Structure 1
Amino acid sequence: MGRGIVTLLGPVEIRELAGRLGLRPTKKLGQNFVIDGGTVRRIVRTAGLDGDDVVIEVGPGLGSLTLALLPEAARVIAVEIDPVLAAQLPRTAADRAPELAGRLDVVPADALRVTAAELPGSPPTALVANLPYNVAVPVVLHLLAELPSLRKGLVMVQSEVADRLAAPPGSRVYGVPSVKAAWYADVRRAGPVGRTVFWPVPNVDSGLVALTRREPPATTASRAEVFAVIDAAFAQRRKTLRAALAGWAGTAAAAEEALRRAGVDPSSRGERLAVTDFARVAEHRPLHG
């Protein structure tokens, strides 16, 4: 596949482009633009794309990462909520990657609500994104649920969020994001990212998270039923599962019975359970509260 010539955006070009658009990065949209070419090249390299991949990028902003993705993928679908940025991105691609600009589709939409039907062409196979930090977890979970075609992903998120997404059972930061992500994929930390590669410089550290799709646990319970148990278990994480699942089961005694039938100690807490354990508990929910 012909790679074409791409001129990446640097700090000067990004500030100039933002000034021309009258853009002031907002905390509300979680806008911190990557200004370091080495970082975007590292993200693309770590994502392990092949020439047939259709990439979905969320929050492309001014296009730093988009430009680095175009030579490495068959197509890039960029989902951008900001209409000014969405309108500018195809022009930036045409200016800086003229031979590859035809590979880019821009979808002006909210990534938290975008559906598979709204995305043009072949379904995406890879998620690669510098995610807006205030919505990173719900965006990842929504896209994994909405796009079963996604086989892999590499996302940049706040360092603490990266820890939570990749945390194993028993970890201090293991919680709802960890278990729900594990329903869809194997998740691991894929390296730190320094603050100075962004403009404006955020007051938090960042990290890369790699996702590899796998089959969900074999269970007779639906995903919604399993996720209901997960939400209940962590809503009051200091409580034992017997107490935390009392509302879900109807009574604490009913919760204890369901847990015992699932082979789970009722006195343990949610952070000890893997996603397969939660699936077993969901299968044993009492028919009557």
Structure 2
Amino acid sequence: MAKRLGQHFLFDEEILEKIIKSAQITKKDTIIEIGPGKGILTRPLCERAGKVIAIELDPYFSKTLRPAVGPFANLEIINDDALKILCNPDFLARLKKEKSLKIVSNIPYQITTPLLFNLIFSPLSWELLVLLIQKEVANKLLAKANSSDRTFITVLANLWAEISLISFVPKTAFRPQPKVDGAVVRFLPKKPVSWLLFEKEFIRLLKIAFSAKRKTLTNVLSAGYQKEKERVKNLLKKSGLDPNTRAEDLEEKDWLNLYQNLRSSSFI
């Protein structure tokens, strides 16, 4: 079951310690753990946090987690799909009452990307997140301008939070061993959240721009919006951008400037 659900259990104590330390856990915190599995991370979370809510999809691990971890009164176990319950209005309303909400998890690799989208657009106010994810995804999130690793989610995630690498994690640190290495990444959500994340046309702009990464912005925006190339070139120049630049070359501030110019010029 664990392999089918994409779970790989961390057993490296040094990496575990780095996760706990970087989460800066106090008794004021309510910690969400996604995919606790055998409870290797759950126990130290319960020892430090005021409350731990462990969301486990696998019915077997949901039943065996408490005996494996111990009789912690501050541990709540929910047998459900994290992607669904973190969108459930009743569950969200309950979490909104928590004063200091954090996520600390070894994320099942197969849900990493949809989970990140869920968290970025979540109505909840997260204090901090420490996630063990695929190294490939971490590289995308941490990629700077002019890097081929930059994607649509790179821009969204960096508008949403300050992102830092805690440690790379070799695949040998897990059982069963995954096919790829991992990385521990910390997210400090920005407050207030960038208004751009609430702009549907901005999200559409990013999707179009990154839909053909190897094409210039002149070509991809002209095709995506069905506008004349000369008009696109002029707007890019007005935004201080080379018409031959690509989506991966832009920093977050460049996207803000470009979007504002496109909108003020009635391009979108």
Same fold judged by TM-score > 0.5? yes
Helix, strand or coil at the partner of 2:38: coil
Partners in 2 of 1:267 and 1:102 — Cα distance? Answer: 59
Q: Identity over the aligned pairs, expressed in percent? A: 28
Counterpart pick for 2:77 among 98, 102, 106: 106
Counterpart pick for 1:268 among 245, 249, 259: 245
Counterpart pick for 1:69 among 27, 31, 45: 45
Counterpart pick for 1:127 among 96, 100, 103: 103
RMSD of the alignment, in Å?
2.4
Helix, strand or coil at the partner of 2:156: helix
> Which deviations, in whole Å up to 9, do the C-alpha atoms of 1:209-234 show, x marking residues without a partner?
11111144465x83432222111111
1:59 aligns with 2:32: no
| Alpha carbons 2:16, 2:41 under 8 Å: kept | yes
> Which deviations, in whole Å up to 9, do the C-alpha atoms of 1:73-95 show, x marking residues without a partner?
111122222233223323433xx
> Which deviations, in whole Å up to 9, do the C-alpha atoms of 1:75-130 show, x marking residues without a partner?
1122222233223323433xx2x2xx221222333222322631545446211111
Helix, strand or coil at the partner of 2:131: strand
Partners in 2 of 1:246 and 1:52 — Cα distance? Answer: 51
Cα deviation, residue 34, structure 1: 1.5
| Alpha carbons 2:120, 2:156 under 8 Å: kept | no
Cα deviation, residue 260, structure 1: 3.9
Q: Which residue of 2 aligns with 1:281?
A: 258
Match of 2:106, as an amino acid?
Answer: N
Match of 2:253, as an amino acid?
Answer: T
Helix, strand or coil at the partner of 2:167: strand
Cα deviation, residue 288, structure 1: 6.6
Partners in 1 of 2:233 and 2:193 — Cα distance? Answer: 25
Partners in 2 of 1:258 and 1:85 — Cα distance? Answer: 55
Match of 2:32, as an amino acid?
Answer: I
Aligned in 2, Cα 1:52/1:247: closer, same or farther, shift over 3 Å? Answer: farther
The unaligned stretches of length 5 or more in structure 2 are none
Partners in 2 of 1:131 and 1:252 — Cα distance? Answer: 44
Which stretch has the larger CA shift, 173-182 or 112-121? 112-121
Cα deviation, residue 282, structure 1: 2.9
Helix, strand or coil at the partner of 1:77: strand
Helix, strand or coil at the partner of 1:79: strand
TM-score normalised to structure 2 length: 0.85
Partners in 2 of 1:274 and 1:216 — Cα distance? Answer: 17
Counterpart pick for 2:175 among 195, 199, 208: 199
Aligned in 2, Cα 1:51/1:231: closer, same or farther, shift over 3 Å? Answer: same
| Alpha carbons 1:58, 1:79 under 8 Å: kept | yes
TM-score normalised to structure 1 length: 0.80
| Alpha carbons 1:229, 1:281 under 8 Å: kept | no
Aligned in 2, Cα 1:261/1:218: closer, same or farther, shift over 3 Å? Answer: farther
Partners in 2 of 1:261 and 1:151 — Cα distance? Answer: 37
| Alpha carbons 1:31, 1:61 under 8 Å: kept | yes
Partners in 1 of 2:112 and 2:15 — Cα distance? Answer: 19
The unaligned stretches of length 5 or more in structure 1 are 1-23
What is the count of residue pairs matched by the alignment? 259
Partners in 2 of 1:105 and 1:258 — Cα distance? Answer: 53
Partners in 1 of 2:160 and 2:259 — Cα distance? Answer: 17
Partners in 2 of 1:142 and 1:202 — Cα distance? Answer: 24
Partners in 1 of 2:245 and 2:215 — Cα distance? Answer: 9
Cα deviation, residue 55, structure 1: 1.3
Equivalences for residues 1-289 of structure 1 within 5 A? 24-26=1-3, 28-93=4-69, 96=70, 98=71, 101-113=72-84, 114-115=86-87, 117-119=90-92, 120=94, 122-123=97-98, 125-214=101-190, 215-217=192-194, 222-253=198-229, 254-283=231-260, 284-285=262-263, 287=266
